Chain A
Amino acid sequence: MTDRLQIEDLAVQLGSKSVLKGFSLTLAEGEHVVVTARSGAGKSTLLRCILGFVMPERGRIAVDGAALDIHSVWSLRQRMAYVAQEPALGQGSVRAALERPFTYRANSLLSGNLDRVPKLMEMLRMSTDLLGLDLRDLSGGEKQRVALISALLLDRPILLLDEITASLDRESAAAVFATLAGLRHQTILAVGHHADALPQADRAVALDRAATSGAPS
């Protein structure tokens, strides 16, 4: 299997605080990995680094062998989809939030993927009646699942998931995990406090103890 995502010796300084100190991890194509750590250890920062929103002090990130830098970040970002811990989906209805990414030039050819919305909502135990609702009327768990649907519709080869079941009840979380388990063609990097943030993961890596982590076992 080829390496989809490589993180080498990543160190990040946020103000006076070091949140990542030489973190390395390699994810193969189709591999599902969960990175665990306590609060404030840099889990979300790790994902924001991979997306190019935080520039590391040291280290290297590569996607499909291409190094992430200020020039490549715009194209490499189009190979990733991201679901935040507390998704900020903007304003308007759920339907508008799902349609919005397809108004961007990078996704305009994928607008047909919106046909999959009813099926994905069913898989994630959501009623299609929610599509007409205002985003402000959704619960935290519903917002997380809408954000996940939005990410899945983009068909990106890498999924970055930040504690996406934190606000979900057990049944809804199980539906999310079952949906993700079926995505064997996509590489998933999930972060959470414990390995149960992605129970079907091929590997669980502790952020604070993983100075170096090699290829998947």
Chain B
Amino acid sequence: MSAAIDITWLGMAAAYLLVLISFAILLWQQVPILGQLGMAVVRMSVQLLFVGVYLQYVFDLNNIWLNCAWVLIMITVADVSILHHCRLRVRSFGAPLFVALLLGTLIPLLFFTGLILQRPNILEARYLIPIGGMILGNCLRADIIGVRHFYESIDRDSRAFELTLAQGARLGEAIQPYLREAIQNAVAPTIATMMTIGLVSLPGMMTGVILGGQPPLAAVKYQIAIMIAIFTGTAIAVPCAILLTRKRGFLPSGPLNREVLVD
């Protein structure tokens, strides 16, 4: 099979023409998000062009230190995003969440490049960065759901939580039902995706591999491997995130430390 056809600049202009159809529909229905849509299209274009230029440079150079640095930058950005979406204070939780994301991303990522793809250089930019990004993106989403669910449910159930401590539970025993529920909530979307994958739409990675010129069966193998890697990443990142933030998330005597929550 041939490699993917590069879209010409004229073709790209046609893509932007397509946006005009959605603009027209929103204008017709007077949906007040025209400004947001315009901004989103501009931001998407600028961000992706920047990333495209940078990645081209990184791929050409293929320096393992630069590749690792890029992955660490992606994890740092994801870390800040989790703190923002979970209503948690950066100073308290930044470091433990970073470690959780690092473990959740690197373990399945290195497994993927080393044992599944069997690359001689497991830190090769072409594989490390896009696959790392896919795993990290899902760890980020799962951590936001899991960590937020964990602390919010304990905050909401503070009286029941304190009764549990008063009944003699250690902190690990008291948080166990909340931890279990948080993990379940965080991994549920990935499980739901796995249940319906391929039936509703072709997943992104599979589409990319097919467009890249590989036969569908090769694309399916990539997709199965990445879904397992994503699930493994989320299953590692969420409990790690919760357990690593536990020391700062609770007072030494057991109750939730409300100072770590942003009002």
- Measured CB to CB, the residues of A under 8 A from B are 48, 51-53, 55, 70-71, 73-74, 77-78, 80-82, 84, 86-90, 100-101, 103-107, 147, 150, 154
Contacts and interface: CB of A to CB of B under 8 A. Distances in A.
A70 B53 CA distance: 55
Contact of A90 (B160, B166, B251): B160
A104 B176 CA distance: 11
Give 4 nearest A-B pairs by CB, closest first: A106-B168, A88-B160, A70-B252, A88-B159
Given A88-B159, A90-B157, 14 more contacts: A52-B254, A53-B254, A55-B251, A73-B252, A74-B254, A77-B165, A88-B163, A90-B163, A101-B169, A104-B167, A106-B169, A106-B170, A150-B167, A154-B167
A154 B169 CA distance: 12
Contact of B166 (A70, A77, A86, A100): A77
Contact of A104 (B157, B168, B177, B255): B168
Interface string B167-207: 11110010001000000000000000000000000000000
Contact of A51 (B157, B166, B173, B177): B166
Contacts of A52: 253-254
A200 to B, nearest CB: 24
Contacts of B164: 90, 100
A77 B168 contact: yes
Given A86-B159, A88-B160, A101 B167 contact: yes
B124 interface: no
Interface residues on B, range: 10 to 19
B162 interface: yes
A104 B160 contact: no
A154 B168 contact: yes
Contacts of A82: 163, 166
A173 B18 CA distance: 73
Interface of B: 157, 159-160, 162-170, 173, 177, 251-255
13 contacts: A51-B162, A51-B165, A51-B166, A55-B253, A70-B251, A70-B252, A73-B254, A88-B160, A89-B163, A90-B157, A101-B167, A103-B173, A106-B168
Nearest to B173: A104
A105 B165 contact: no
A80 B160 contact: no
A51 B147 CA distance: 27
B163 to A, nearest CB: 6
Nearest to A106: B168
A80 B251 CA distance: 20
A15 to B, nearest CB: 11
Contacts of A101: 167-169
A105 B168 CA distance: 8
Contact of A74 (B162, B170, B177, B255): B170
Contact of B167 (A53, A55, A107): A107
Given A89-B160, A90-B160, A90-B164, A104 B170 contact: yes
B255 A53 contact: yes
B181 to A, nearest CB: 10
Most chain A CB within 10 A, of B162, B167, B255, is at: B167
Contacts of B251: 55, 70
Contacts of B160: 88-90
Contacts of A90: 157, 160, 163-164, 177
A147 B159 CA distance: 13
A77 B253 CA distance: 10
Contacts of A150: 167
Nearest to B162: A53
B253 A53 contact: yes
A202 to B, nearest CB: 24
A88 B159 CA distance: 6
A73 B253 contact: yes
Contacts of B165: 51, 53, 77
Contacts of B252: 70-71, 73
A86 B163 CA distance: 11
Given A86-B159, A88-B157, A81 B170 contact: no
